[in-house]
Structure 1
């Protein structure tokens, strides 16, 4: 009788080229890789210096997304000289090595973790690696995605394999119906708060349960994207009819007989009944309220109706010290009400929350309203395709009438790598994934939350509960 297997075990075993030792190290075959201009230069230089070519150039997709300007009027090269050098070198490398590139002016350009799925480049059962930690996003399709370093990118391009160590498995089961204005961002923020920023270190997370089943693919991508903020090296969900319908008409999805053959294989991608996980976590969605971070780590979060925690109440010495430092950096006091903290900026974007469904949620909140005086609001769509669709649906007009800047696609203020940077002391309500010190600019203060919550903060000028606003 065969031992029941988890989906993770199935994916890894089907891609194992060779076991390398008795400590779990294997040579893992990688189906697809996504490249960007920021993490790839050294890899290409290494290939060129060694006189190596790519093993399979057609398994790579290259996207300019990190350093490009998001100014409303699209330009080929932004004002930053260093960024321009990276983009130009990236284009040269892609041309020399025969890699397809979505450059800045391409209508398919955007953030890699938004672009690859909307092109149908990521399919169930695949292994995917990229030089970005949020490659876990692709787990929403039943693929196994994970981030790698520059030296690993070079090895991957040359061999289509990686030396990989098997992870432990964690199952997160989410049950119950989500309340009004509660989103998948709140679900994953609650998980991170519950298990901590290192709670899933060394694990691959499988998300399951009726709450997950009821979510759209875009909502699932948000959860898999941010699972890395709990330390997970991988996160995924078993593919289902929702995934198949999302993929069916995508440009690079299989067609005709190939689609039917692929579908038959994808339907076998699930954890067997009785499969054992190393750790189990349960979440009741009915107990989740809108989440917001107060500190400088994604796990330093509370519900919007709570107060800033008192570090003195933290029993763990390391966490207590971290909380004290976080409050000092964030300019907050223990006991301060979260729903009354004023902001200077509202940013909606990133590979976590800049898809069309996110923008529809924002439009529902800000329709007929105006951004509060003294607040700068920025909306950066996840891709040029998302931007075009938002304009066709009339969402862009709603944003502009509300006072938001409607910008071009890119990573933007998520990591302040281009000219979208906050100044010291600025306080930003942000739909991004990280709130580390200096993440959005030196001395800048970031509060993570859902896109709808950012929209609510923008129109009130302070952190607040989106459920208190009239939503159209």
Structure 2
């Protein structure tokens, strides 16, 4: 019997298999940031241990960093201590770190792909749930806890049970105005925020062949939002073209050898998945979340469900979500006022995202009631955007143009919502308080967020796109 892509990567990295116990898996790349690593490094000191492969480890500062002037001292002393601690730990254990003033600093799941560190067939871990992003390259990538961070630092291995496999087939074709964010929100909205728990997902079908690498990263990024352990796209020429020439990517004969090996990373025709589902992308429209998990999502022309449309077992969480979001059953999302627009996060802060959002706002002004901000995913993205003049487009429209960081995605830094504020956000989670205590988040694509900034309310961006097309 044939093997799935996941099974091929898994089998290549198993160091030791034990019956009825987790296998020992070799890790190719370990990504580290300032929030989930301090206790892990302290554990090394207490046990008098060293880092096994500093050359397979990379650190960056992203979660707590300010996105405004970095020459000013941090107001939050906890954040300052975490940043200082990471710098000290990396110096002591000889780990490369992209600090606040490094040209490559940025969100951990943005900097690794753009520097050619993320490669097909790898195993990649990080103390962050959205490590699934790297699966866009055909890498087995997943988040780990702090104790596991310490284990990988010490051994370059990790104990793991083998996951079940799930194929998600994207059928049909993308309608006008539907982006990668709409595809993944549409999938989670259809099947629920926990339907993939325990599975490694492979995204397949004719639509996936049309997706750019940055779009694939957006989809894999939100694998965790449906409960999945990891998400995967089989690497292809789109992948290889993206990786080639990157700073840390193989070159010369090593590149030719690598591509030859990467071309074997696909699911065999006779392989069998544990489960298989489909999404007809042709039926999608731009998506907007209305509740407090990404499964509470509908199309822009839709409405908050009515009580009779919700399964009885889900009604308590349904009412709790509406109470928090201050919405009523049957409420139509289009026209709902917003206070803040956030374009950023490891989901949607790459150069393609910024280009698309800039195209919507070019020559127009944001609504005076809206606080709008753009936070590039990395300093490389920021530099490229400025070279293309995107910063001027955003600034002239009324957006704030920031430095790279996780920013308002998680409210762990100065960029947080105030209680009661409603935000059109390109991030990945709309949990209660995720973007700030009492803040209300509506997830959407960069184009949809840009449209909301112009009108001051949740808006169908397709109308603007058609007007701009003439």
Q: TM-score range with shorter-chain normalisation?
A: over 0.9
Question: What is the match of residue 350 of structure 1?
Answer: 345
Cα separation, 2, equivalents of 1:243 and 1:56: 26
CA RMSD across the alignment: 1.0
Of 261, 264, 273, 1:277 maps to 273
- Aligned pairs for 1:224-373 (under 5 A) are 224-317=220-313, 319-373=314-368
SS in 2 for 1:340: coil
Question: What is the match of residue 17 of structure 2?
Answer: 19
Per-residue deviation, residues 206-250 of structure 1 (Å, max 9, x unmatched): 001121111110000000000110000110110000000000010
Cα separation, 1, equivalents of 2:420 and 2:249: 46
Of 8, 23, 30, 1:10 maps to 8
Question: What is the match of residue 445 of structure 2?
Answer: 450
Question: What is the match of residue 390 of structure 1?
Answer: 385
Of 6, 28, 35, 1:38 maps to 35
Displacement of 1:77 in angstroms is 4.7
Of 90, 107, 111, 2:107 maps to 111
Cα distance, 1:141–1:77 mapped onto 2, change above 3 Å:
farther
Cα separation, 2, equivalents of 1:51 and 1:471: 63
Contact 1:429 1:463 in 2 (8 A): yes
Displacement of 1:76 in angstroms is 7.0
Per-residue deviation, residues 121-151 of structure 1 (Å, max 9, x unmatched): 1110000010000000001101010000000
- Count of residue pairs the alignment pairs up: 467
Per-residue deviation, residues 363-413 of structure 1 (Å, max 9, x unmatched): 110011111121000100000000011111011100000000000000000
Cα separation, 1, equivalents of 2:205 and 2:188: 18
Determine if the alignment matches structure 1 residue 468 to structure 2 residue 466: no
Cα separation, 2, equivalents of 1:181 and 1:75: 40
Cα separation, 1, equivalents of 2:443 and 2:401: 20
Question: What is the match of residue 138 of structure 1?
Answer: 134
TM-score by length of 1: 0.98
Contact 1:364 1:471 in 2 (8 A): no
Displacement of 1:80 in angstroms is 1.7
Determine if the alignment matches structure 1 residue 192 to structure 2 residue 194: no
Structure 1 unaligned spans of 5+:
none
Per-residue deviation, residues 306-331 of structure 1 (Å, max 9, x unmatched): 111123432232x1110100000000
Per-residue deviation, residues 29-82 of structure 1 (Å, max 9, x unmatched): 1110100001100000000110000111100010000101001x3337522211
Cα distance, 1:123–1:77 mapped onto 2, change above 3 Å:
farther
Cα separation, 1, equivalents of 2:226 and 2:468: 32
Cα separation, 2, equivalents of 1:468 and 1:260: 46
Contact 1:311 1:321 in 2 (8 A): no
Displacement of 1:468 in angstroms is 1.4
SS in 1 for 2:253: helix
Question: What is the match of residue 125 of structure 1?
Answer: 121
Determine if the alignment matches structure 1 residue 61 to structure 2 residue 58: yes
TM-score by length of 2: 0.98
Of 207, 215, 220, 2:216 maps to 220
Determine if the alignment matches structure 1 residue 400 to structure 2 residue 398: no
Contact 1:382 1:410 in 2 (8 A): yes
Per-residue deviation, residues 423-450 of structure 1 (Å, max 9, x unmatched): 1100000000000000011111000000
Cα separation, 2, equivalents of 1:143 and 1:78: 36
Structure 2 unaligned spans of 5+:
none
Cα separation, 2, equivalents of 1:315 and 1:452: 32
Cα separation, 2, equivalents of 1:438 and 1:464: 24
Per-residue deviation, residues 255-291 of structure 1 (Å, max 9, x unmatched): 1010011111000000000110011111111111100
Cα separation, 2, equivalents of 1:57 and 1:76: 31
Cα separation, 2, equivalents of 1:76 and 1:221: 33
Cα separation, 1, equivalents of 2:277 and 2:439: 34
SS in 2 for 1:129: strand
Question: What is the match of residue 178 of structure 1?
Answer: 174
SS in 1 for 2:334: helix
